[in-house]
Chains A and B, each alone.
Chain A
């Protein structure tokens, strides 16, 4: 049990999806404008990653690797992810039409999010067990959401700061991410 707790902390903080493995930096730059969009993206990534991971692990391990077709993992997992997003959108549409209009572009774009595909491919290709994979996926996505929210908060703080003109826009966000990454290295002392 302690091994699983360690795995959770490791995948959320120490081996952070975006700050250590640099998987989702595009989302970090574009979607952390304010708390609302950060939380929306974080929650959608959490739901989509968890569901996709649970479905893709058995298919990857027992179907594709048995027949030596691991090169097809990419496209099969992408299609499974798209199916999960489609199901999710259908569910949201049933609940509220307005929310559907609001969330549709966001959820459709997370199909092309490298954080989700990265973590589900990683779990299958490294060969972790099912429980460990699921823990890694769920807590990796939680760590990603936490990083997005932190980034949104910092952006709010530095909005009216005096940033040198060439650094305005994306570069100062990258420097912020670098400082956050260095701070996150301190988490290695937890284990």
Chain B
């Protein structure tokens, strides 16, 4: 009995040493990778921004505002909002970080770049959890192109693109597509909310 425990303990100690070595060896590279993703978000969502600053707003009232449009906290949670400023430090638009819940489980974490006049620049998918099948296709340009350079009150999923506001879902990943549409709508409403609550800071 004692011999067995000592053997198992030896194995555990060897493995613990190996894991510690691994964690320490890769720590720097992993942090560098995360920083690269962070910087890439700005290049993709708002390339023309010269400076960025955090926006301060009331999360509680924003959640209420979103709920009035039908997006409550089990659909969408806005994480934080960043102002995109030009060289003269005027606010030219927002970068909205939003967590969108897929209907049957899983979260898609988006960063959406939206200009003052409500035109969507682009969005970046930061994380898709519980990705099944074709979910990762919402990262493809063929899906993103349906949102770019459009300024509508809200987007809806439909079978055919009858109008600018209609989005055709990725076949086989309808709940992921609906989650992305919810997230982008949430960023449009966030722009309206900050516009109203800041009293016309943006156009």
Whether B104 and A10, one on each chain, are in contact in the complex, defined by CB atoms closer than 8 angstroms, is yes
Interface contact B23-A71, CB-CB below 8 Å? yes
Contact with B along A15-56 (1 / 0, CB 8 A): 100001100000000000000000000000000000000000
Which secondary structure dominates chain B's binding surface?
loop
Q: Is the CB of B107 within 8 A of A127?
A: yes
Chain A interface helix/strand/loop/mixed: helix
Total A-B Cβ pairs within 8 A: 27
B103 closest partner in A (C-beta): A191
Across the two chains, which residue of chain B brings its CB closest to A72? B19
B23, B103, B105, B107: residue with the most chain A Cβ atoms closer than 10 Å: B105
A131 at the interface (CB under 8 A from B): no
Place the interface of chain A in its size category.
Answer: 10 to 19
B residues within 8 A CB of A125? Answer: 129
Residues on B with beta carbons closer than 8 Å to the beta carbon of A191: 103
Inter-chain contact B132/A20, CB cutoff 8 Å: yes
1/0 contact trace for B10-35 toward A, CB 8 Å?
00000000010001000000000000
Give per-residue flags for A175-191: 1 if the beta carbon is below 8 A from chain B beta carbons, else 0: 00000000000001001
Contacting pair B132 A21 (CB below 8 A): yes
* Distance in angstroms between the alpha carbons of A122 and B132 in the assembled complex: 13
B74 interface residue per 8 A CB criterion: yes
Question: Residues of B at under 8 Å CB distance from A?
Answer: 19, 23, 74, 103-107, 129-130, 132
**Residues of chain A having any CB pair with chain B under 8 Å:** 3, 10-11, 14-15, 20-21, 69, 71-72, 75, 122, 125-127, 136, 188, 191
